[in-house]
Structure 1
Amino acid sequence: MTVHLPAARGAAAVGDARPSLRERVYVELRERIVEAEYPAGTRLVEREVADELRVSRVPVREAMQRLESEGLLSVQPRRGSVVADFGPEDAAHLFDVRENLEGLAARLAARHATPGGLRELERLLSGARRAAESGQVREAVSLNADFHRQIVELSGNPLLVDLMAPLDSRLRRLFRLTSARSDGEAMCGAHERLHEAVRDGDEDGAEALARAHVADTRAAAARLLTAPHTAP
């Protein structure tokens, strides 16, 4: 059976151009890892994945290399590419970086946000709240991750965008691992307050809210990743 690859979520569009095949393969594999369809420790064989997706091995190879650089895959002796584990220590490393970079991104977004960018933030917020209220966990996770990425985009700093891009996949995975046991209402509320600060041009407030949000989610993630639970 042919796997119909979805359009790349969050990919930039140029005119009416569709995302490239390599981008769609990358997104498909990333989502399978984030959604634990490929659990930690799963071995991915380039040839087998290409056969399953009914594509050539070239876009699969490129996607796997990209996922390895983003920390979702690791190369192990005699096993090749396997889905990387993501535990409390991995989360701690991610939060160490996020607190500073996302605080900076929020400050710059409050300074440089455009009307179009703010409308996109509002769209993501509304969609995330609807998804959370209706129990659509996967959609809520995706939209909340997109919200964070949009804040970075609104910073107007290409270097910051490049620095944060490799963290996006890990952030999505973290959100998914903790979303079934976390407070979606609280996350939406935190995002709404951050949006208001960015919209109002409150640079100090936006940075403080972003840092506080990262600190809050860090504490919650540490509890959830170390507590016994049934995987979502």
Structure 2
Amino acid sequence: MSASDGAAEPERVPLRTWVRDELRERIGDGRLRPGDRIFEQDVAAEYGVSRVPVREAIRMLQSEGLVEVLPRRRGVFVRTLDRRELVDLFDVREALEVLAARLAASHGDPAEVRELGVLAAEAERAWSGEDVEAMTRNNAEFHEKLVSLSGNELLGSMLEPLHGRLAWLFRLNREPERVCAEHAELHTAIAAGDPERAAEVAARHVRSSRIMVLDRMLY
């Protein structure tokens, strides 16, 4: 795949941003795993770009905490999040997503609220069909739609640098039934225009996920 193929219409955004988004997606969906090495020349050749935007994209990913540059090993590697970083990430996620849920229930666009329900239903169907990849994708889209429903652009910009790490967290889901049930409950509260109920469900949802993920961490 090259930039000229138009896979993500890169001509509409700076090449460094397009490459960053492509690499971030690979980290989020597990194609690039913690500890994997990223070779600038290989990425440049695959996407049909020079090494300059690749180098800039890597710096962007480094600032987001997704990769690290290790001089002694002379390379760029996908980072492994430690327990402290995960705790911090969940703290931020809870604060921002609870706010997003409250705002969405207060004045969410009805058409977008229906789309939120569709995403919740699609994730449940994917879980019933044991399609882990589809469920992971739908869950990530559900949370992105939740932020969009808040109507708060600053909130969205604050969460945007966390997307890669959040997508990685969604892949750690080992309680699909709970997640689907909580998403459905959250959609119901938002559709009913109940901000306090939506905030309570969102907080419980993030806290349950925190327990699930941290219990799996051995470091």
Unmatched runs of 5 consecutive residues or more in structure 1: 228-232
**Within 5 A, what are the aligned runs for 1:215-226?**
215-226=207-218
Question: Could you tell me the TM-score, scaled by structure 1's length?
Answer: 0.82
Q: Deviations over 1:29-80 (max 9, x none)?
A: 2232234332222222322211133333344234323322222112222424
Q: Deviations over 1:86-136 (max 9, x none)?
A: 233322111111111111111111112001211221221122112111122
Identity of aligned residues (%): 42
Question: Could you tell me the TM-score, scaled by structure 2's length?
Answer: 0.87
Counterpart-to-counterpart distance in 2, 1:19 and 1:140:
29
Of residues 96, 104, 111, the one that matches 2:106 is 111
The 3 A distance-change label for structure 1 pair 134 and 7 is farther
Letter paired with 2:135 = A
- Identify which range, 67-76 or 210-219, moves more after superposition: 67-76
2:60 aligns to what?
66
Letter paired with 1:190 = E
Looking at secondary structure, tell me which structure has more helix per residue. 2
1:91 aligns to what?
86
The aligned length equals 216
CA RMSD of aligned residues (A): 2.6
- Identify which range, 197-206 or 27-36, moves more after superposition: 27-36
Unmatched runs of 5 consecutive residues or more in structure 2: none
Letter paired with 1:116 = A
Letter paired with 1:189 = A
User: Does the Cα contact within 8 Å between 1:6 and 1:24 map onto a contact in 2?
Assistant: no
The 3 A distance-change label for structure 1 pair 160 and 75 is same
Letter paired with 1:215 = R
Of residues 75, 97, 118, the one that matches 1:123 is 118
